[in-house]
């Protein structure tokens, strides 16, 4: 794409002192005395979104799904890079896309520090960078036997513009043991925590908020925490206006079981290659 168009739609003054050199050179330069968290996600037309999706929604969503990964780690957003593959140059499309994208970026005080633009079938890749205090990340491997098992929000809604649980998750660092974001469906995503933590879960399906918890694309959080932090987590949920529910607990026996019937619950969810 013409450099002028990149400049027009995607280049802005950086808002942060940790950006030593902003977008526009061969690399951006940033500095931090914290632990850095990196994640990357791609949205491909026809696979992850319909061609009819409004460009402003698409810009929002491409960043929101990446913010969801930072939230799942408890990381604070810093900056991101944008790789755009476009079938053609459409200025009104770019204006709406960048508005949806950069408005969300501003609300989390994030800088767009670089990118790449190529021609081809519409696809958007964002690499996000966050920061964390040392030894604090909410890893998938951190769940402990007897932990309460939580989910945020309501499942099955699959919002076009999911709200990343960033502030809640950062404050959860001292209260929770493990977390994951719900992109592929509750049982499948939960099973990643259970495998990494070598444990299982008892859940009460009647306690799961919402309709179908195995659709995926909710971008809510699933996390585990010691029962002694129940009151603090409830307070934090109110403070940050984040709905939370305890849906079960962590047990030693691998697998997911219905806490009422003790029957195994099948692991289902979105499969990327079938």
Which among ligand ADP, Mg ion, none contacts residue 150 (Cβ within 5 to 8 A by kind)? none
In the bound complex, what is the minimum distance in angstroms from residue 113's beta carbon to ligand ADP?
Answer: 7
Q: What are 138's two structure tokens?
A: 């909410």
Binding-site ranges for ligand ADP (CB under 6 A): 6, 10, 23-26, 82, 84, 112, 114-117
**CB nearer ligand ADP, residue 25 or residue 146:** 25
In the bound complex, what is the minimum distance in angstroms from residue 95's beta carbon to Mg ion?
Answer: 22
Tell me the β-bridge partners of 150: 223, 246
**CB nearer ligand ADP, residue 11 or residue 35:** 11
Instruction: Output the furthest CA–CA distance in the chain (Å, rounded).
Output: 63
> Reduced to 3 states, what is the DSSP secondary structure of residue 240?
coil
Q: Kindly state the number of chain residues that form the binding site for Mg ion, as judged by CB under 5 A.
A: 1
Q: What are 188's two structure tokens?
A: 């499948």
The residue from 7, 47, 107, 116 that contacts Mg ion (CB under 5 A) is: 116
Nearest to 155 by CA among 84, 87, 221: 221
**CB nearer Mg ion, residue 116 or residue 271:** 116
Give the CA dihedral 74, 77, 83, 86, nearest 10 degrees: 100
Residue nearest Mg ion, CB atom distance: 116
**CB nearer ligand ADP, residue 59 or residue 114:** 114
**Which residues, 190 to 219, sit near Mg ion by CB under 5 A?**
none
In the bound complex, what is the minimum distance in angstroms from residue 81's beta carbon to ligand ADP?
Answer: 7
- Helix ranges restricted to H, 91-165: 91-107
Stretch that binds Mg ion, among 20-28, 108-116, 176-184, 209-217 (CB under 5 A): 108-116
In the bound complex, what is the minimum distance in angstroms from residue 73's beta carbon to ligand ADP?
Answer: 24
Q: What span, in angstroms and rounded, lies between the C-alpha atoms of 71 and 166? A: 5
Q: What are 250's two structure tokens?
A: 């962590």
Which among Mg ion, ligand ADP, none contacts residue 112 (Cβ within 5 to 8 A by kind)? ligand ADP
**CB nearer ligand ADP, residue 112 or residue 203:** 112
**CB nearer ligand ADP, residue 74 or residue 114:** 114
**CB-facing half-sphere around the CA of 116: CA atoms within 13 A:** 12
- CB of 74 closer than 8 Å to CB of 109: no
Which among ligand ADP, Mg ion, none contacts residue 253 (Cβ within 5 to 8 A by kind)? none
Residue nearest ligand ADP, CB atom distance: 115
Q: What are 230's two structure tokens?
A: 């129940």
- CB of 107 closer than 8 Å to CB of 146: no
Rounded to 5 degrees, φ, ψ at 154 are -120, 135
Q: At which residue do the structure tokens 């179908």 appear? A: 212
Q: What residues make contact with Mg ion under the rule CB under 5 A?
A: 116
């Amino acid at each position: 794409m013409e450099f002028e168009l990149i400049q027009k739609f995607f280049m802005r003054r950086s808002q942060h002192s940790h950006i030593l050199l902003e977008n526009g050179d061969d690399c951006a330069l940033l500095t931090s005395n914290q632990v850095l968290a990196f994640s990357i996600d791609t949205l491909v037309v026809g696979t992850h979104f319909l061609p009819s999706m409004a460009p402003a929604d698409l810009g929002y969503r491409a960043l929101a799904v990446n913010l969801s990964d930072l939230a799942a780690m408890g990381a604070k957003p810093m900056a991101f890079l944008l790789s755009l593959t476009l079938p053609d140059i459409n200025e009104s499309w770019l204006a709406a896309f960048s508005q949806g994208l950069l408005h969300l970026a501003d609300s989390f005080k994030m800088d767009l520090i670089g990118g790449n633009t190529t021609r081809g079938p519409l696809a958007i890749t964002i690499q996000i960078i966050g920061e964390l205090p040392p030894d604090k990340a909410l890893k998938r491997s951190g769940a402990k036997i007897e932990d309460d098992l939580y989910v945020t929000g309501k499942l099955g809604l699959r919002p076009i513009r999911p709200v990343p649980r960033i502030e809640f998750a950062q404050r959860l660092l001292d209260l929770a043991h493990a977390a994951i974001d719900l992109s592929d469906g509750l049982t499948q995503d939960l099973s990643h925590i259970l495998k990494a933590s070598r444990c299982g879960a008892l859940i009460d399906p009647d306690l799961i908020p919402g309709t179908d918890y195995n659709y995926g694309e909710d971008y809510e959080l699933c996390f585990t925490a010691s029962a002694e932090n129940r009151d603090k987590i409830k307070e934090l949920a109110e403070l940050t206006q984040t709905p939370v529910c305890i849906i079960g607990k962590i047990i030693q026996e691998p697998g997911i079981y219905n806490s009422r019937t003790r029957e195994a619950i099948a692991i289902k969810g979105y499969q990327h290659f079938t």
